Amino acid sequence: MDSSQSTCLYFNVSIDDVDSVRKGRQSEGLQKHTEAHVEDRCFSIFFKGRRRNLDLVATSVEEARQWVNGLEKIISNMKKLNRQQTSEHWIFNCMRKADKNKDNMMTLKELKHFLRQINIEVDETYAKLLFTKCDTSNSGTLEGSEIKHFYDLLTHREEIDVIYEKHAATGGQMSAQDLLNFLQNEQREVATLEDALRLIEKYELDDSAKHMNHMTKDGFLMYLQQEEGSIFNPAHKKVFQDMSQPINDYFISSSHNTYLMEDQLKGPSSTEAYIKALMKSCRCVELDCWDGAHGEPVIYHGHTLTSKVLFKDVIKAIKEYAFKTSEYPVILSLENHCTLEQQKLMAKHMISILGSALLTSPLEDQMPTAFPSPQELKGRFIIKGKRLNKLDAVFSNTSPGVEEDCVSEEDESAETSNSKTDTNGQKAKAKKSKIKLAKQLSDLVIYCKSVHFSGFEHAKDKQAFYEMSSFKESKAVNLAETAAKAFIHHNMTKLSRIYPAGSRTASSNYNPVPLWNAGCQIVALNFQTPSKEMDLNQGRFRSNGLSGYILKPEFQRYAGSEFNPMTLTKGPWIKHKAFHIMVISAQQLPKLNKDKPKSIVDPLVKVEIYGVPADTCSKETRSIENNGFNPMWNETFQFDIQVPELAMLRFLVEDYDATSQNDLIGHYCLPLTSLQNGYRHVPLLTKRGDVIPSAGLFVHLMLLDAK
């Protein structure tokens, strides 16, 4: 981009597609193609999904400021819309698109086009009947109050009528006492009359009803569509767990090959990939470090055609974005293939860029015997990598130790590049390659020293608490299946990192649940790849304030535990629950094929439980033909849950196809312990994990102690 040239750009994009706006030369494109003196005139618009960002250079500093401030205000206002406002925004947008001649009126033809756009197919007779009912002026078009009448008919929800009328026992309306009865008996909340009055004050729109401390049907619907009526417990939106336990007592949101935007063979490496992961509360990122040109180390997927990014640029991006979503510690997992000189430069860059946030010595003033807590490590960076000596050397007055020495490489790239197949088709054992390690880099490794795993007994007798092993997924899954109890006890004092097999060249993912069941903390996934596995990761770390740290259940933390997820025995982990769920309806599901105006979805809902093998189960509704706007199922399922503390609930909404695989419409996942009972709205997310602004499910849930 030549900043001296003025280019006129025309682009059409919805504000719903914008993820963020960043002031200055923060994108790789602007850093590469502009000079430092235009910093204050630059800004970038980043979009959701895989759409490329838009880099812009304004004609003046003031113009750039106005653009950034204006866009940030619009994005902020969009995020503040409640569910009803979001729904109205979406519907009226669709109406505007259907109004082809922009006359603010709607003909019958435009009405039918609009209905198809909002994902509902109606026959000619019904469309005409609906139109005639609203066209009170007999003008052949709908306008003003007639469009409002049409909107009210369209968005009328029969299921809400039934629920409201059942509980509105005071002159056809809900009194505060009626609402309290609903909260206590239907929603199973520990509520008081003050809570009911607060909800009326907050959500009732009719002043006369509010004056009488009553809630009308409109106010009731408004309440159901807010966070109080959400499936996700609002108390879990903030940090609510004890954060003072050692960090190995937590599941830690972790990324693999964090630098990649796509596949592992020829995809781009980017600082943007780190930013996206960190903004999703990822607390352990991977840096695959190699010698680069001009003496500067680079990050990329070794021995492949993936592009390279400067190590120092990655460290700068991490420093900038590490603690924007979560204030808890970030682990930098180093895969080091650099020569001594470039290793020294890596250490220098981390020390100078991360400054006092970089942990360079234990927090204690004497040799520690256990990990510090996330609370104690707030705002700190922890380096995971090879170390030349024991941590005790930090407190020793003896010689500083060797300046350099050979250590075994033992990483995933060595495993994939050195493995050969024998004549029987079996993988031969990879030879351990050696690499020289510089003291400057070694000294930065404090609580996460990488060591080879030689068995649980060896680890118990010989391994210090700060010495941690990385496991390839196949080995980890095998241990989780055949030696789960030993794995759990290993993780009570040590950290374990699991990573995807090198054969996953398309950056696919493995199921993290069996590894969490075995108490593994750092279960690293390819964050860049939308998948069921990433849905589960997003669900696991949705609670506890999006901190990226989830305290493991107590039975995975105390030394005397006999818990084994594979063979359940009696113990405190068994909290037998009967989980009843009714899938009632969905609202405003998106069209999947926008290029085909007549294409309407046939939605069905899958309800899935993930946890210990005994609890893992899936059930699904029938499909509803040609209706993505307001399909209704009213189907009930029951699940038998043994270990609720490890269970997650996932909703999957799909477009049914008799001849091929169903297409994803939306999904949502959360820990079973974070749901609210009763009538609840469920938000839906896109394949890449972004909220679909207008869409949702309406369900009734009851998680009760089994008799």
pLDDT tens column, 257-299: 998 888 777 778 889 999 999 999 999 999 999 999 889 999 9
User: How confident is the model over 362-381, as pLDDT tens digits?
Assistant: 999 899 999 999 999 999 99
- The count of other CB atoms within 10 Å of the CB of residue 474 is 12
How far apart are alpha carbons 518 and 561 in whole angstroms? 12
Q: Would you state the pLDDT for residue 421? A: 34
Q: Is 600 annotated as a binding residue?
A: yes
Amino acid at 540: R
Q: Is 16 annotated as a binding residue?
A: no
How far apart are alpha carbons 56 and 337 in whole angstroms? 37
Q: Which of helix, strand or coil describes residue 57?
A: strand
What is the mean predicted confidence (pLDDT) over 332-350? 96
How far apart are alpha carbons 81 and 132 in whole angstroms? 33
Confidence of residue 427 (pLDDT cuts 50, 70, 90): very low
**CB contact at 8 A, 377 and 359:** yes
- The count of other CB atoms within 10 Å of the CB of residue 415 is 18
Write down the pTM of the prediction. 0.87
Residue 214 annotated to the active site: no
Q: Mean pLDDT score of the chain, rounded to an integer?
A: 89
Q: Which residue has the higher pLDDT, 420 or 351?
A: 351
Q: Is 344 annotated as a binding residue?
A: no
What is the mean predicted confidence (pLDDT) over 521-548? 95
- Tokens 């850093």 locate to 31
Query: Over 50: is that where the pLDDT of 315 sits?
Result: yes
Query: Over 60: is that where the pLDDT of 431 sits?
Result: no
- What is the Rg, in whole angstroms, of the alpha carbon atoms belonging to the chain? 28
Confidence of residue 190 (pLDDT cuts 50, 70, 90): very high
How far apart are alpha carbons 539 and 536 in whole angstroms? 5
Q: Is 656 annotated as a binding residue?
A: yes
Q: Is 497 annotated as a binding residue?
A: yes
Confidence of residue 597 (pLDDT cuts 50, 70, 90): low
Q: Would you state the pLDDT for residue 420? A: 39
Q: Which residue has the higher pLDDT, 407 or 199?
A: 199
> What are the structural domains of the chain?
15-80 (2.30.29.30), 84-155 (1.10.238.10), 158-229 (1.10.238.10), 247-393+439-556 (3.20.20.190), 577-705 (2.60.40.150)
- Listed in order, strand segments (DSSP E) in 503-656 are 522-525, 549-551, 577-587, 603-610, 617-620, 632-641, 648-655
Q: Would you state the pLDDT for residue 659? A: 87
Active-site residue among 113, 256, 337, 489?
256
Confidence of residue 398 (pLDDT cuts 50, 70, 90): low
Picking from 367, 374, 361, the residue whose alpha carbon sits closest to that of residue 323 is: 374
Q: Would you state the pLDDT for residue 432? A: 61
For 181, phi then psi, to 5°, come to -60, -40
User: How confident is the model over 654-681, as pLDDT tens digits?
Assistant: 999 988 899 999 999 999 999 999 999 9
**CB contact at 8 A, 373 and 243:** yes
Q: Considering only 171-175, 345-349, 405-409, which range has the smallest mean pLDDT?
A: 405-409
| 491 Cβ neighbours under 8 A, 6+ residues apart | 248, 518, 519, 520, 521, 556
Active-site residue among 236, 301, 337, 667?
301
Q: Is 602 annotated as a binding residue?
A: yes
3-state percent breakdown (helix, strand, coil) of the chain, nearest 5: 35, 25, 40
Query: Over 80: is that where the pLDDT of 422 sits?
Result: no
User: How confident is the model over 541-590, as pLDDT tens digits?
Assistant: 999 999 999 999 999 999 999 999 999 999 999 999 999 999 999 998 98
Q: Which residue has the higher pLDDT, 648 or 412?
A: 648
Residue 490 annotated to the active site: no
Query: Over 50: is that where the pLDDT of 194 sits?
Result: yes
- Tokens 């069209």 locate to 591
Which DSSP string corresponds to 145-211? HHHHHHHHHHH--HHHHHHHHHH--BTTBEEHHHHHHIIIIIS-----HHHHHHHHHHH---HHHHH
Q: Would you state the pLDDT for residue 28? A: 80
Q: Which residue has the higher pLDDT, 91 or 629?
A: 629
Q: Rounded to the nearest 5 degrees, what angle is found at the Cα of 214, between the Cα atoms of 210 and 219?
A: 75
What is the mean predicted confidence (pLDDT) over 41-66? 87
Specify the DSSP class assigned to residue 433.
Answer: P
Q: Is 620 annotated as a binding residue?
A: no
Q: Considering only 8-12, 53-57, 538-542, 591-595, which range has the smallest mean pLDDT?
A: 8-12
| 69 Cβ neighbours under 8 A, 6+ residues apart | none
What is the mean predicted confidence (pLDDT) over 230-254? 97
User: How confident is the model over 212-230, as pLDDT tens digits?
Assistant: 999 999 999 999 999 999 9
Q: Is 315 annotated as a binding residue?
A: no
User: How confident is the model over 540-551, as pLDDT tens digits?
Assistant: 999 999 999 999
Max CA separation in the chain (angstroms): 97
Distances (CA, A) of 339 to 417, 444, 448, 450, 555: 19, 17, 22, 19, 45
Q: Would you state the pLDDT for residue 7? A: 47
Query: Over 80: is that where the pLDDT of 5 sits?
Result: no
How far apart are alpha carbons 332 and 497 in whole angstroms? 12
